[in-house]
Amino acid sequence: MNKILEVKNLEVGFINNNTRSEVLKKIDFDLFENESLGIVGESGSGKSTIALSILKLLAQNSYAKGRVNFENVNLLALKEKELLSYRGKKIGMIFQDPLSSLNPTMKIFYQLKEAFVKEDKINLEKARLKALSLLDLVGIKNPMVRLMQYPHELSGGMRQRILIAIAIAASPKIIIADEPTSSLDATLQIQIANLLLEVKKKTKAGIIFISHDLALVSAICDRILVMYKGKIVEQGGVKELLTAPKHPYTQMLLNTIKALEEEKPLFLELKNHLEEKNGCPYLHRCICAKDICREKSPSLKSTKNHSVACHLTEEK
């Protein structure tokens, strides 16, 4: 498989009132052609910050170091103007909230058209046919009617499909989907996730699928990164991660899913309230922490197809 994206030593933070807060700490990962890579982690762990860093869409008060290599170019080093040929074209992005991501005052056709027609080359009939085929691809019924409607005339599921159509309109090599299904009901979540997989199969794009939902991500991804407090604490193939999770945080996430499936009560105790300074980011929750976990942050150590940042697994 061809590597299409390489994120190396990515560090991102924000500056508020002259205070720097580090949000992503030395993030390293690759994405391959025709691969779906899941990123999971709780709220605030830095999932969206990774997505936004890739296309340099971070807020003004941010700083970013490291490399985001795509087609032999470090995207982090590009100027705004240079990024235009990547954003929405070579790299498509689907955001969380389908209503606020669409322009409420523009009919669907014009929003779709913007994604694939260059301003100087408008051929309306060709654009209409392409827009219809995109709606068809994302499973929208009555595409002729839908094309001339406004976003508020469509259901949440349809709007999410339209966002996917916009994201794939320019045949991107990478699609980044940041919580694309979190506002939808369970059946629609599965439909939309399957739709992304179909798109991947047809276009060979690499997909980065971000979600809180480890069960959903496991169902549709080839590989998973588990984030905790701005660090990747474990990454591996879905099978390895589900059958032999090594990090206590991943183990806790999987136990939570099992408990929900078995309708058992959940006890998510915070075992240790010490705030880590130099130690492991998971220290304050870990039930098996040792002295070394307070002293030193573990780095990501790899074995075949699986890596984990945990002193305890190093010991074993």
User: Where along the sequence are the contacts to ligand ATP (CB under 6 A)?
Assistant: 14, 16, 23, 41, 43-49, 59, 61, 212
- β-strand pairing of 174-178 with 206-211: parallel
DSSP summary character for residue 248? H
Rounded least distance, CB 93 to Mg ion, Å = 12
Dist. CA 113–CA 115, nearest whole Å: 5
Residue among 176, 251, 137, 225 at smallest CA distance from 129: 137
> Which two tokens mark 128?
């209409």
Rounded least distance, CB 98 to Mg ion, Å = 15
Element (H, E) at 45: none
Q: Among residues 16 and 142, whose Cβ is nearest to ligand ATP?
A: 16
Q: Of 4, 31, 38, 48, which lies in the binding site for Mg ion, with binding defined by CB under 5 A?
A: 48
Q: Among residues 27 and 138, whose Cβ is nearest to ligand ATP?
A: 27
Rounded least distance, CB 183 to Mg ion, Å = 13
Dist. CA 23–CA 18, nearest whole Å: 16
Query: Which window, 39-47, 230-238, 256-264, 276-284, contacts Mg ion (CB under 5 A)?
Result: 39-47
Q: Report the partner that residue 44 touches, choosing among Mg ion, ligand ATP, none (CB closer than 5 to 8 A by kind).
A: ligand ATP
Q: Among residues 48 and 203, whose Cβ is nearest to Mg ion?
A: 48
Residue 101 binds Mg ion (CB under 5 A): no
Q: Among residues 183 and 313, whose Cβ is nearest to ligand ATP?
A: 183
Give the number of other CB atoms < 10 A from CB of residue 230: 23
Q: List beta partners, residue 177.
A: 94, 209
Dist. CA 132–CA 144, nearest whole Å: 7
Q: Report the partner that residue 88 touches, choosing among Mg ion, ligand ATP, none (CB closer than 5 to 8 A by kind).
A: none
